[in-house]
Structure 1
Amino acid sequence: MVAEGRLPPPGRHRRRRPRPSPAAAVRHARRGDPGLARPPGAGTLGDRLSRGADRGAVPRRLGRQEPPGRRARRPPAGRRARRDAGRARRPDAPPPAGRLLRRRRGAGRAAAPADPDADRRAFAVAHASSPDEAPAPADAPPSPGRRGDRVSDDRPVGLFDSGVGGLTVLDAVARRLPAENLLYLGDTARLPYGTKSRETVRRYALRAVSLLLERDVKALVVACNTATALALDAIREKSPVPVLGVIEPGARAAVARARDVEGPGGPRGPIAVLATEATVASDAYGSAIRALDPGRPVLNVACPLFVPLAEEGWTENEVARAAAARHLKPVVEAEARTVVLGCTHYPLLARTIAAALGPEVELVDSAESTARALEALLPVSARRDALQAGETHLLVTDASERLRRVAGRFLGREAALLELVDLP
């Protein structure tokens, strides 16, 4: 009860506060009160806060003698007692770390750790759900493939084709992903694939894939339209790594280009596909285009002479122009304004083809769209460190000087070193 004529100080509760015990009086007494015992070495308030001693030392009660070298300890009370009791009821609680650990140890045993990240790692270890999630010690060597905090997958990307035509895809991938290591296999001893049966193409393609998988590639690009059309399903069934063909990216690029050429609301004309005989017979491009743009007319045109011309390097001479005039006649008659180069060899004859069709025709090369699709396929964790330049390694089943010259056109230098391999 408040005495008559006296008001409680503003901002304070009207209930009478209990009188503190002698021990509490010692703990809460001000520094200047006479007669209070100060723990040895306690120093000023600033000194104790800087060393953490204020939280670990307990002052002795007045009139009580302790054995030498021993300090009196008192059971915790208040919030600290409730906190410790709650921790005792939780057997899965993590051990103390960081400031709490230093508070419990006291000033003499809570020196700053030599490793500035020790507290962070201790917390991570205590809260890791499994041992695999706990961070490595500070002096542990980095994991394989790591560059400091950067993750790098140095395994190569594997590409294969029946010959040098797939180098158009290799060139696009090298420009799109310059840091990646590239391993290219050209089955030059068995080209062309476009005139072979379905069973033969599948057998050749699976052998090429087996060799690339033995070289520990992290992804496969079937840089051959014929192999994509006839063997992509079998390759994906066998491969433990992601597999990308060239037909679906090429079909997407063709549909987008045709819509740009026609404009919104314009009449939909046919998309012409120049390909090998095997690709035309499979109608792989037609199926992919119609799936993306239902009702779109597709004109498949077989151009069997283009692959041998590209392999021989005869891309802009009289023979190439005569072959283009013969093969492209159906495209001119159909007035197709979007033409897909449905074989990775055909971009080598792009100038000759464009001259035969006229300037109003748009040529679609699946190499660029395939490189973009590969970039989207590879997650960041599967990329090679972007700070380092990638290397290109060429494998061929039949080496020749002609192949070196053609490969040099794409690599920007003479391909003097080719590894000759044999596919069983």
Structure 2
Amino acid sequence: MVESKRLNKIPEKVIIPLRQHRGAVCESLVKKGDEVLIGQKIGESSEHYSSAVHSSVCGEVLAVEESAHPDGNKVMSVVIQPSDSEETVAFTPVKNPSKDALLKLIKEAGIVEHYGAPTHTVLKPSDGKIDIVVINATASEWIGGKYNTPKEYSSQMIAALKLLMKAAGASKGAIIVGKDDEESIEAFDGVEVDGKALKVAPLLGSRRLGHYFKDQNSNIVVASQKRIYGKNILNFFTYNVTGRKVALGSDPTSVGVAICGVKSAKALYDAVHEGKPYYETVITIEGAEDCPEYMLVKIGTPFKDVIESCNFGEVGKIIANGVLTGVAQYTDEVPVTKGTTKITVQKPEEILRDESDVCVHCARCVDACPVSLIPSRLAVMADQGRFDECRQFHIENCIECGKCAAVCPSKIHILQLIRYAKDAICLAYEDLPCKESSNLKLGCCGGE
């Protein structure tokens, strides 16, 4: 099992954004000059679509101000000068919490999904009811994380799944692991749930979770499939594992499915069994041979301190959350947040500086697209501001995996153009019916 390293270096300052989730920005509960403890709540909001924020260190609040965020924007943040104290607020475990108590605990503990949704809103959507909870464990972010052994991981994930099901009022639950992740498969194979030994079942052909609920006569199953990655994989992932189609513009909760991650499941387990809020996270480090692959980091730690602990040498470029789908950073002062999964560091000589050329219509991006879009055509229309036509070509279905840009021989920034168009559409349109362009009809070749 790959070992992880805990970042023990005390940063000069810790920057904790008051918005680490999609939704309302939290109001600061502290001010300049206040002393805070580890686990102390420093931000909250009365809005449903929000989640509390906690201090990850002991120290003095230097400021409450706008600071750089890994998503490229500036966000109101609490800046703390840490001390070497490890004093925490009192952590109180919760015994046999009710459904409502769990939902309240999830919000109060600051538990959010890595894709930005507050976990309690995933489990209890405002416009629907959840009947299946799925933990997406296809990315082995747990390895060497907060678990000592694979068996400890599997037992805690099963316990966390039951808690998530209880909070959602769901009758069924599943954990999806990677089909090539032998360690995870071995960890879950034979694990007992309510006196029954489970078998990790591969999702093959047209078989979905419903088949295995019946086949194993259990309301909890563990299945395996090829890893699906991307910023917006939820609808695609939901169809792959359940067979339920999510309507354009909706999310899995609209078809009764709640998708949670390993990190949020572990955070809920810790909140219930140890009383700890979500103030530290495991991230992947990429770019240096002598750096640990996984590192346990306190939320709010600047990227700079993580990088310096690994002795990277000269840094040319920093990317948050993966080369294909991540965001290049303009400063190393951005903090690790609940949505940070990976930090990639490139040396100056590793940075690609190729200029984009015209599309050669090779269709490699079409072959690479996992959701059968035409990325090159979408990129052209996005670049020309023809957003209504982008909608006609179902741009909202793009999962932002980045494969199209990776295979493009012309080095066109396809993913960035698609994101630009999706953001523009989100701001411009309240509905999603098909509309013809007001100034240009789409021809057989894209109307170029």
What TM-score comes out, normalization by structure 1 length? Answer: 0.27
Could you say which structure has the higher strand fraction?
2
Could you say which structure has the higher helix fraction?
1
The structure with the largest alpha-carbon Rg is 1
What TM-score comes out, normalization by structure 2 length? Answer: 0.26
